[in-house]
Amino acid sequence: MLFRGVNLAVRAGQATWLRGRNGRGKTSLLRLAAGLAVPESGNILWGDKPVRAAADYAAQRVYIGHANALKDDLSVTESLTFLARMHGRPSDAPTIRAALERVGMGSRRDALVRTLSQGQRRRATLARLALEQQASIWILDEPYDALDTDGVQAVNELLHEHLARGGSVLLTSHLSPGSAAPTLAEFDLDPFA
């Protein structure tokens, strides 16, 4: 068992920074919160229903894992369009173009993913956040990883907008999100290991 006794609530308009040393279970807890894994014991709830039984949960959440989930042989535009369609989000050309512009990837929209740096791949993946217009929960594993200052700023702007519309965020990061980040409640997993 990675951890026990964890009691964490993420409310509308709140961002929570899940912290802990390597191997403490941060990614595992995010996968549980996203409904991608089942807890050995205990419950992960959306409202008053287990996330895996809540019919609207998958449509209400955005999960971006540590891996970028981009296809090397597709262009940046094709990759984001594929992800948008797969998750039931707007995927028309102007919307995709605008999302890529938001994260500073507009000039690379026709580049093949395999030609991108790691930071550019992360930005292209995080462009999914710019497609979101409803209050929902974002579950983000290391969103700042490999980003330069401009990339961090773009992510922080998207987080601020999301929280302002009543969305919630659960994220992990080994890097400080910086002073421009929204106010983050901190939850440390180390005591539960």
pLDDT for 178: 81
pLDDT in tens, 16-38: 999 999 989 999 999 999 999 99
- Smallest CA-to-CA distance from 41 within 4, 76, 72 is with 4
pLDDT in tens, 140-192: 999 999 999 999 999 999 999 999 999 999 999 988 888 899 999 999 998 88
pLDDT for 3: 75
pLDDT for 192: 85
Listed by start position, the domains of the chain span: 15-192
Q: pLDDT band at residue 12, thresholds of 50, 70 and 90? A: very high
Task: Report in angstroms the alpha-carbon separations of 82 from 129, 136, 138, 161, 170.
Answer: 14, 21, 19, 24, 24
Superfamily of domain 15-192: P-loop containing nucleotide triphosphate hydrolases (3.40.50.300)
Residue 46 tokens, joined? 């959306």
